[in-house]
Structure 1
Amino acid sequence: MSDAGSNVGRRAGILGAAVGVLAVGAAAGVAIERMTVGRVRRRAEEELDAIAEFGTLRGEPHIVAAEDGVELYAEVDGDPRAPLTVVLCHGYTLNMDCWHFQRAELQDDYRLVLFDQRSHGRSGRGAPETSTIDQLGEDLYAVLQELVPRGPMVLVGHSMGGMTIMALADQHPELFGRRIVGVALLNTSAGKWATVTLGIPAAGARLLHRVAPGVMRTLGRRAALVEAGRRAARDLVYVFTERYAFDSDVDPTVVRFTDRMISATPIDVIAEFFPAFETHDKLAALPVLGRVPTLVVGGAGDLMTPASHSEAIHDALPDSELVVVPESGHLTPLEHPEVVNAALRGLLARAAREPGRHAGTGGGPRRNGSFGSPRSGGDRDAG
């Protein structure tokens, strides 16, 4: 072999050895991280089971029939004689239990209505074609008709729950400023979600948004196989949850609680709803929310719905209050409950002070009268 050929061979050998060392080091790093994460996850799971706190707050159960017959599971909690009802709408892959800290904070002073979005939590499964933001808006309308037929209310939505409220504003604007006297939009977006980079380089994000809907459809069609893979990769799922849901050093039991909610959402449900975010656009509906006090909360470290999306909502609603929480990821209500609870208290106080926006007190049972009217059943002698 010539000297040139020998040199090439040596360089190739050195390069191959270097690659081999890097590969072994990377594999060892992954293995160590998985072992570490596995221990943290298992310890968090044991502690979560031991304290038996998260997910144990319960109210009076109700089943609300959506317009297509899907059964929506709901609970009514808090003070039944309170003058204001707070309706809590959860986000994608979660359920009503994600409001644990807000429920504990508000239940002594307000009437609370919580429900699981269709195909989430204890609610019934909807047909795949109904996995849309507009359908969620109509579902929310059905819940309000059934469980808050009278009296003023404030709507609070996180992520997909915020989008649900925007859909309701688009479909039933007559409710805002009459029955609905306040709105809180937490870690959500009014549109252009396809531009979100998700914390990866822009070129990769554009590719991801382009191929993700097709990949999701494929995963949905192979749900049984994917679910088995999710169970086998629980440690990696835990890491994903920790990195994308939070931006600070949260208690591992909170991460595990979140992980459990996400893991309980079937992969085909995740796949069916995903395309809805790519096409979501409710910017034109935002002025309707300007009729009522509105709180907008974003997380400075939110990779799913960045703070810029909260700022865009605030720009469209100049009278709204904007709170961007430092060191907060996508699940600000769980990561920084004290900040969210204080902001909600402020919103509820402002909503209660608004003159001429509502009449009557209490939520009470369904009565006769026009649901959209500010006095629909609000007079206790009516109906």
Structure 2
Amino acid sequence: MKPKIYLLCGLLCDATVWQHQAAALAPYFDVETFSFRGFDDLTAMAEHVLAQDSVPFVLAGHSMGARAALEICRLAPQRVEKLILFDTGVHPLKKGETEKRADLVQAAKQYGMPHLIAHWLLPMLAGHHHRQPEIVEPLSEMVLRHTHDDFAKQIRALLNRPDAAAVLRAIRCPLLLGTGELDTWSPVEQHQEMQQIAPHAKLSVFPSAGHMAPFETPHVVNRTLLEWLLPQAVSISTLQTNA
């Protein structure tokens, strides 16, 4: 039986954002992806994931999904065998964040969800990816599958998030941190601060990627995941490829 790995999606994200990693991990893991449409609370997100099974699992979260992953670690640390946190943070609300997020929610209500493509999604991506339809179009379609109500609820969850530094500090399982080199929302420096809180963590920076790193630079992210999760398997695969 393959070990389980749960991939948790972020704000306005679904399985699209993890699709390349799910495919790369499938030969080695029983992969399940969780998105959180309709949820307005991080604890409820965590409880939803924990209710799926009673066995231990590897846990990966992207953005808001990483916040939910940390909540899982708070509720049931014994269930998490390895933890992966991408493009995220552990800090409480920053100055001005409430107003900034509220403005986006109001704009989405007034102008419709397509407004968020130009004013939320594209600024999350590395600038050079704006001209790559193979990146922009699937992510835009992903955002538009959500409603304004979905957006408002997930924003509420983020605005009510706890300071998760203590949870991160208490983590004892293997921990991988990663972020896009060009992620301006969850920048490299923020992840370096997280590594200072959890010094046993490995930190990877994905070149040329923004906040949606798993979808923007999938080959780099996949390689990082496989080398960290399955170093022996990757080494053997490399030897076979080069033979």
TM-score, length-scaled by structure 2:
0.83
Q: 5 Å matches for 1:73-92?
A: 81-82=1-2, 84-92=3-11
Q: Deviations over 1:338-359 (max 9, x none)?
A: 121111112212799xxxxxxx
1:277 & 1:184 partners in 2: Cα distance? 19
Matched to 2:69, the amino acid is: I
Corresponding position: 1:212 with 2:100: yes
Rg larger in structure: 1
Partner of 2:67: 163
Q: Deviations over 1:185-212 (max 9, x none)?
A: 01011114525xxxxxxxxxx3xx3533
Partner of 2:168: 286
Partner of 2:137: 256
Of 313, 329, 340, which aligns to 2:221? 340
Corresponding position: 1:269 with 2:150: yes
1:350 & 1:181 partners in 2: Cα distance? 16
Partner of 1:7: none
SS at match of 1:303: coil
Matched to 1:180, the amino acid is: V
1:265 & 1:248 partners in 2: Cα distance? 25
Partner of 1:29: none
2:147 & 2:226 partners in 1: Cα distance? 34
SS at match of 2:51: helix
Q: Deviations over 1:217-243 (max 9, x none)?
A: 6568xx4x543xx45x5xx82475233
Q: 5 Å matches for 1:58-137?
A: 81-82=1-2, 84-117=3-36, 119=37, 125-126=38-39, 131-137=40-46
2:119 & 2:80 partners in 1: Cα distance? 39
Partner of 2:122: 242
Contact 1:246 1:328 in 2 (8 A): yes
Partner of 2:90: 190
Shift of 1:266: 0.9
2:190 & 2:11 partners in 1: Cα distance? 17
Matched to 2:140, the amino acid is: D
Matched to 2:124, the amino acid is: Y
Cα 1:191–1:109, aligned 2, differ >3 Å: closer, same or farther?
same
Matched to 2:187, the amino acid is: P
Matched to 2:123, the amino acid is: R
1:247 & 1:190 partners in 2: Cα distance? 26
Shift of 1:276: 3.2
Partner of 1:300: 181
1:153 & 1:217 partners in 2: Cα distance? 34
Matched to 1:254, the amino acid is: I
Q: For the aligned residues, what is the CA RMSD? A: 2.6
- After the TM superposition, which parts of structure 1 deviate over 2 Å for at least 4 consecutive aligned residues? 209-220, 236-243, 245-251, 275-280, 349-352
TM-score, length-scaled by structure 1:
0.55
Cα 1:265–1:346, aligned 2, differ >3 Å: closer, same or farther?
same
Matched to 1:272, the amino acid is: K
Percent of residue pairs bearing the same amino acid type: 23
Alignment coverage as a number of residue pairs: 231
1:351 & 1:264 partners in 2: Cα distance? 39
